[in-house]
Chain A
Amino acid sequence: EAQVTQNPRYLITVTGKKLTVTCSQNMNHEYMSWYRQDPGLGLRQIYYSMNVEVTDKGDVPEGYKVSRKEKRNFPLILESPSPNQTSLYFCASSLWGTSGRPQETQYFGPGTRLLVL
């Protein structure tokens, strides 16, 4: 089954304790991205990756890191989490469009709900 998986689905942590949220897709998609969703603010992109070893900042990258060592995986790393990073996080993937943009359907993971105390 074609899907994007995220782990963990729920996480409670404390300020400053490094954590990683994993994301994996089995559709051979080039483009992957991370979003956070907060009430009243919609989805905001954190980082995106156009292919292996190619990543770039989205709208709200501060406090986050990503890596893309393999095509299927795109982990999100919070080196020193803070309470303002409490949010619902989504990973998404898609094919890379022929005109050089991710024109195709975005496939979303189920979300990771993070609480930083």
Chain B
Amino acid sequence: SQQGEEDPQALSIQEGENATMNCSYKTSINNLQWYRQNSGRGLVHLILIRSNEREKHSGRLRVTLDTSKKSSSLLITASRAADTASYFCALISNFGNEKLTFGTGTRLTIIP
């Protein structure tokens, strides 16, 4: 399967702490993206990291990519209650299809 697998499936932390989520995959990728989904709503794009990049930042978000380990991590620093959501990694493989494949997500809860 080309699907990414997020870890952990659920995470609860205190407001102000950092949250780290991981995504592992099995295929060679072209790029990997992280999305956020508030309960029952559409997904919102957070960051795209290409296969030749190792780290990207966007505000309080930091994404790393290790293609040798076939894994990526999303770090949210100084978490806020509004960060409570599900987070998904999604990837496009290098093997001939155009599908963006999503993982099953990490459910993040920020405790005020």
Q: Do A and B bind each other?
A: yes
Decide if the interface of chain B is mainly helix, strand, loop or mixed. strand
Known: A106-B43, A106-B45, A108-B42. A101 touches B88 (CB 8 A): no
Verify A101–B92 contact, CB threshold 8 A: yes
Chain B interface residue count, CB cutoff 8 Å, equals: 24
Q: Which of B11-19, B77-85, B94-102 contacts A (4 or more CB under 8 A)?
A: B94-102
Contacts of A101 in B (CB 8 A): 30, 92, 98
Known: A90-B42, A103-B31, A111-B41. A45 touches B105 (CB 8 A): no
Contacts of B104 in A (CB 8 A): 40-42
A102 to B98, CA, bound (A): 6
Closest to A50 in B: B98
Verify B100–A108 contact, CB threshold 8 A: no
- Is B44 in contact with chain A by the CB < 8 A criterion? yes
- Is B73 in contact with chain A by the CB < 8 A criterion? no
- Is A114 in contact with chain B by the CB < 8 A criterion? no
The answer, among B40, B98, B99, for a CB contact under 8 Å with A111, is B40
Verify B42–A45 contact, CB threshold 8 A: no
- Is B110 in contact with chain A by the CB < 8 A criterion? no
Verify B41–A45 contact, CB threshold 8 A: no
The answer, among A40, A43, A100, for a CB contact under 8 Å with B102, is A43
B residues whose Cβ falls under 8 Å from a Cβ of A: 3, 30-31, 33, 35, 40-45, 48, 50, 88, 90, 92, 98-105
24 A-B residue contacts at CB 8 Å?
A31-B98, A33-B100, A42-B3, A42-B104, A42-B105, A43-B102, A44-B102, A45-B99, A59-B99, A88-B40, A90-B42, A92-B43, A102-B92, A102-B98, A102-B100, A103-B31, A103-B50, A105-B45, A106-B43, A106-B90, A108-B35, A108-B42, A108-B43, A110-B41
